[in-house]
Structure 1
Amino acid sequence: MTEYTLPDPVVQTEGARELARDLVVIPNRGVQLVPNIGVIGGTHSVLVVETGMGPGNAGTVLKFAADYAGGRTLYLTTTHFHPEHAFGAQAFTGAAAFLVNKAQAEDLATKGPGYLGMFRGLGEPVARQLEGVELAIPDIVYDTSYDLDLGGRVVRLRATGRAHSKGDQVVTVPDAEVMFTGDLAETGQFAIFPWFPPHDTDVSGIRWIEVIRRLAAAGPRVVVPGHGDIGGPRLLADVRDYLQLLRDETWVRRDSAMSEETIVEEVRALMIERHPEWAGREWIDKGVGCLCSEHAAV
């Protein structure tokens, strides 16, 4: 991963934005390693989506959510186990029930310590936010689907299967037509491929394409990506089109027995030409590496 630079990955709740009745998002303001965070209400309960990185940020989110809930029961869920999304869950202990899918719970338990060490190496601002992290154990673990009744509003939690990670989860609010994708979708940047062989090779470009096709076909009115600006159905279509192009351009070169180094150089240049305004160019190389590996398995 690239070395992190300032500003600090700090959640700021002042700019919370209402997307629908009793549904707000704390936006990431374009700050690296800060996720978009959801707070979804019903008559008797409120669900928080994502914690922010570390107990300090999560404490800020918890205070906001508790004030917003006004005495309603709190729940917490996370879209996947990565540090800026889930490594603050300990702050919610005793205040909210922590709810995730089985694959994500396994990721958090088995891979969480390694990611904690890796992210601490990204620089002092990140390491400071991760001080005192204790990886939380979920209170409720489901297999593939869970419908959470908040009172007059049911929120759908769905495990997608392996894509950006093994434990990806999409959170949908049907009555508001709002979908939280986590890092399955980002705005204004190349898809994040956590491809770190031999330590972590769970990301799957092939499966990711299948998942994002399903999400795009669902046609949500509002899409809240893991990072970047909130959008609509076009956001999912853009991610789908990019991933398909990345696969096709990688595989056509792999078919010609081109070296992976040359494939990376050529595909990176092509993707930057197509999307010169997108951030996260370092993730193109990781995506090519992942898809080269999957090409060999097809």
Structure 2
Amino acid sequence: MPFEPLTHEPAVDPGQAREIARDLVVIPNRGVELVPNIGIIGGEHSVLVVDTGLGPGNAEKVLAFATEYARGRELFLTTTHFHPEHAFGAQVFADEATYLVNRAQAADLVHKGPGYLGMFRGLGAPVARALDGVTLIAPDKIYDDAYDLDLGGRVVWLEATGRAHSKGDQVVTVPDAGVLFTGDLVEAGQFSIFPWFPPYDTDVSGLRWIEVLRRLTATGPDLVVPGHGDVSGRRILTDVREYLELLRDETWKRRDSAVSEETIAAEVEALMIERHPEWEGQDWIAKGVGCFCSEHSGHQAAGAGEAPESASA
């Protein structure tokens, strides 16, 4: 979610799709802002699409590619979370695929989807055009914590991680291929996206995010498909967690000294850019500081070394 209006088209390009494992391809985002990595995972009788791209036009391209790739196999769609570039093309898949997500994400779509649609339409003419005609649809299937999707000779694991980047985050694991789709829990080559917009949206939890990444690292994937950026090895899970831990520690160290949040943000931002000068998305550092400042008081109330209840729910 950029802060400056976009001047380029946030266009998915299926022509760039590449196979990263047997019967498993990724349509890469190619470093284009507001374009996610999109997965197509095949089995003997079914194919799962992971994320839609921003708006109906992008989703139509993804659906056309997936239909050709499937060659008669049944189609399923899932989305890693409800944010527009990941999920606001689902309407195109209606009557063509079975759409399934976790319960928290389905609730996000209902309660926050319209607000995010309006916000994103204000991000410039190319984004508004991409979102023209969007209708937010209800999923066909909703699960609570985990769902094993049998594609035929290949079972894909869908798991609701709980509150982190959003309340409805979901990871998709292809165990036989050692591939993990993380959505925006992980980005490659950019600072973590903190959708911290008080008072309208404060669902992101840096503390919970760190714990989710710790759990995902323990699963030992071979390849990680981030929400944005290059497909990477498992080390990226540790890299992102260590960044979030450093962001937390540097924020809290200054918070304990009763420094103003504005000063904290400026100092921490300078430090993080010095550590990672090549990363994109520098505007997200201050949003992360705001989130961790909010969680600091809850951490103090819970006691040293113990996460606050709101961050572990």
TMscore range, shorter length: over 0.9
- Paired position in structure 2 for 1:67: 68
Inter-partner Cα distance in structure 2 for 1:217 and 1:136: 35
Inter-partner Cα distance in structure 1 for 2:137 and 2:30: 27
Pairwise CA distance, 1:7: 2.1
Alignment of 1:8 with 2:9, yes or no, is yes
Alignment of 1:260 with 2:245, yes or no, is no
Give the partner amino acid of 2:119. M
Secondary structure in structure 1 of the residue aligned to 2:232: coil
Pairwise CA distance, 1:274: 0.2
Secondary structure in structure 1 of the residue aligned to 2:167: coil
- Paired position in structure 2 for 1:236: 237
Inter-partner Cα distance in structure 2 for 1:255 and 1:154: 48
- Paired position in structure 1 for 2:115: 114
Inter-partner Cα distance in structure 2 for 1:79 and 1:139: 16
- Paired position in structure 1 for 2:81: 80
- Paired position in structure 2 for 1:102: 103
- Paired position in structure 2 for 1:139: 140
Give the partner amino acid of 1:222. L
- Paired position in structure 2 for 1:294: 295
Inter-partner Cα distance in structure 2 for 1:154 and 1:72: 15
- Paired position in structure 2 for 1:192: 193
Inter-partner Cα distance in structure 1 for 2:260 and 2:273: 20
Pairwise CA distance, 1:4: 3.0
Pairwise CA distance, 1:202: 0.1
- Paired position in structure 2 for 1:151: 152
Pairwise CA distance, 1:275: 0.2
- Paired position in structure 2 for 1:183: 184
Secondary structure in structure 2 of the residue aligned to 1:157: strand
Alignment of 1:42 with 2:59, yes or no, is no
Inter-partner Cα distance in structure 2 for 1:173 and 1:235: 18
RMSD: 0.6
1:36-57 per-position Cα deviation (integer Å, ceiling 9, x unaligned): 0000000000000000000110
- Paired position in structure 1 for 2:271: 270
Give the partner amino acid of 1:258. V
Pairwise CA distance, 1:148: 0.1
Secondary structure in structure 2 of the residue aligned to 1:81: coil
Secondary structure in structure 1 of the residue aligned to 2:118: helix
1:71-101 per-position Cα deviation (integer Å, ceiling 9, x unaligned): 0000000000000000000000000000000
Inter-partner Cα distance in structure 2 for 1:3 and 1:246: 23
1:21-65 per-position Cα deviation (integer Å, ceiling 9, x unaligned): 100000001100000000000000000000000011000000000
Give the partner amino acid of 1:167. G
Secondary structure in structure 2 of the residue aligned to 1:119: helix
Point out where structure 1 has 5 or more consecutive residues left out of the alignment. Answer: none
1:264-297 per-position Cα deviation (integer Å, ceiling 9, x unaligned): 0110000000000000000000000000000011
- Paired position in structure 2 for 1:23: 24
1:73-131 per-position Cα deviation (integer Å, ceiling 9, x unaligned): 00000000000000000000000000000000000011000000000000000000000
Inter-partner Cα distance in structure 2 for 1:170 and 1:29: 21
Give the partner amino acid of 2:142. V
Give the partner amino acid of 1:71. G
Alignment of 1:163 with 2:164, yes or no, is yes
Give the partner amino acid of 1:106. A
Inter-partner Cα distance in structure 2 for 1:61 and 1:286: 32
Deviates more, 1:232-241 or 1:85-94: 232-241
Give the partner amino acid of 1:238. D
Give the partner amino acid of 1:185. V
- Paired position in structure 1 for 2:220: 219
Inter-partner Cα distance in structure 1 for 2:151 and 2:188: 29
Secondary structure in structure 2 of the residue aligned to 1:59: helix
Q: Which runs of 4+ in 1 moved over 6 A?
A: none
Inter-partner Cα distance in structure 2 for 1:199 and 1:249: 26
Point out where structure 2 has 5 or more consecutive residues left out of the alignment. Answer: 300-313
Inter-partner Cα distance in structure 2 for 1:217 and 1:283: 27
Give the count of matched residue pairs: 298
